Amino acid sequence: MAEPISAQQFRASDGVEDWQVHFDGAKTYFATGSFAKGVELIDVIGQLADAANHHPDVDLRYPGVAVSLFTHDIDALSDLDVALAKQISTAARELGIAADPSQVPTV
């Protein structure tokens, strides 16, 4: 079972600079520039999530994708969120998609 981590522990982890911690999890926004590129990113996120057996909330809109991570079974952030955040950020960079956490939807 995953162990809870604090917001500070999440932020101190290497490779999660694209992510912001909110009261309901770690979030970021990827500026895909097109709907098709957003679908491509979501496909990769789905593969990563299934491999990790840890599934984020994903919101596809034109022109970007918002992603939210939270370990629901412990009602907290965990190392699972850190690991998947790193993988998602790496995949986005490999697809040429920039993160813009300042655009995370507030609703």
pLDDT over threshold 90, residue 106: no
Give Cα 98 to chain centroid, integer Å: 13
| pLDDT classification of 107: cutoffs 50, 70, 90 | low
Span 24-41, mean pLDDT? Answer: 97
Tokens (6 digits) for 104: 């995370």
Span 32-45, mean pLDDT? Answer: 98
8-state DSSP, 2: P
pLDDT over threshold 90, residue 1: no
Q: What angle do CA 17, 72, 15 make, to 5 degrees?
A: 15
pLDDT digits (tens, 9 = 90+) for 71-99: 999 999 999 999 999 999 999 999 999 99
8-state DSSP, 8: H
For residue 105, what pLDDT is reported?
85
Q: What is the rounded distance in angstroms from the CA atom of residue 104 to the CA atom of residue 67?
A: 8
Give all domains of the chain, ordered by start, each with its CATH number: 4-13+21-103 (3.30.1360.20)
